Amino acid sequence: MLGADRAPARSWPSFGLAVVAGLAGALAFPLVIPGCGATPSLDLAPREAAIFVSAAILFRLCTATQSLRRRALFGLLAGVVHFGVLLYWLDIAMADYGHMPQWQALPALLLLVASCAAFWAALPLVVDLLRRVPALGRPLAFALAVVFLEWLRGTLASGFPWGLWGYSQARNAPLLQLASLGGVYAVSFVIALVGAWGARALSWRGTREGRRAASRCVGLLVTSHLVGAVLLWAHTDDAGPGLRVALLQGNVAQEVKNQDEKFQDAILERYLQLSREATARGVDLIIWPEAAWPGRVLARSTRLEEFAPSVATLIGVSAYDWVDRRLRATNSAFWIEAGGNVTARYDKQHLVPFGEYVPLGRFLPVDKFVTGMVDFSAGDSARPTGPPGVGVLIC
């Protein structure tokens, strides 16, 4: 008779499964292949479902009747494949745009991939530790372990939350609404638990435990989407006045943007023209992208040169100031009222390591992936910007 918590041992090809888990997880995210156009691959397919396949396989690998060392190695392999596919473009960014020699760029990319994959390698250990909590089954322990390690990777550890499972559901509006209750980690938790119960249902198919796992898997998937649909309806059924917002994208080539002071007039004119077109369509708010304003601007500026928009405009700016005789640069957003007065500013708080600053920069023989004057400094306030109270997110 089967135990209530462990699947029967099978001769699963663990190596191949680890590769499939990593690849399936990566394909759940938008993936642009060089030379194949700007449209992400599988964009017309329900690629979001692939993350559940990845979660199911990882659960099977993490809870297999193998040594902890072997399970960790398979988790590491899956993570290397997953993050290798997701982050391949960083080699292009570093070598082509950051002007790093390839002998530095490729090892740096591999180091980043390995550091992210290490959190997948830790999954079996965290699951085993959580299993010591009374009445905590393996599926729930797996889901909690996924959320804990994602949080750890995105905050305390590398500060690089790229590829969190919940992000894969960006186009799945109902399931995405769970983020309003528990952030992206709530979505990741549901994905992990559905995947775990799905894997258990397949392992125990034909048994009472298998049918129970299948019903839990389907029940959670349906319930989470129904709850999300209700939240979506509640959020959109607001009788208050709305804003017509224009999101501008000038599509400035990266090699031009990296020399924005040289091409300042051309970049500025492109966005000014887009702003004029948006204003003519009767919008209430115009938003420019991150660091869209060419060059660098004094953080205490009350106006941006001769910029006097007809409607409120939120602009991404590379700002600077002098603090205690030291240059302080920030990745900022300026709120500019109609007429041109800068009335509020937000400074990005969570900086990208090696992109906006170099951890242990005094000791590591590498520069930032993105060229710049100095390392950025982090902001210290998440206070909404502008009279409407706009929360700003900067990539």
Nearest to 70, CA basis, from 15, 11, 116, 7:
15
The active-site residue out of 116, 348, 356, 368 is 348
Q: How far apart are CA 190 and CA 217, in angstroms?
A: 10
Say whether 306 is catalytic. no
Dihedral of CA 231/236/238/240: which sign? positive
Helix (H, G, I), strand (E, B) or coil at 293: coil
Q: How far apart are CA 109 and CA 88, in angstroms?
A: 8
The active-site residue out of 290, 305, 337, 368 is 290
Question: Of how many residues is the chain composed?
Answer: 395
The active-site residue out of 36, 269, 277, 395 is 395
DSSP string, 55-103: HHHHHHHHTSSS-HHHHHHHHHHHHHHHHHHHTTHHHHIIIIIS---HH
CB 311 within 8 A of CB 358: no
Terminus-to-terminus CA distance in the chain, angstroms?
52
DSSP string, 214-228: HHHHHHHHHHHHHHH
Say whether 395 is catalytic. yes
Say whether 290 is catalytic. yes
Active site residues: 290, 348, 395
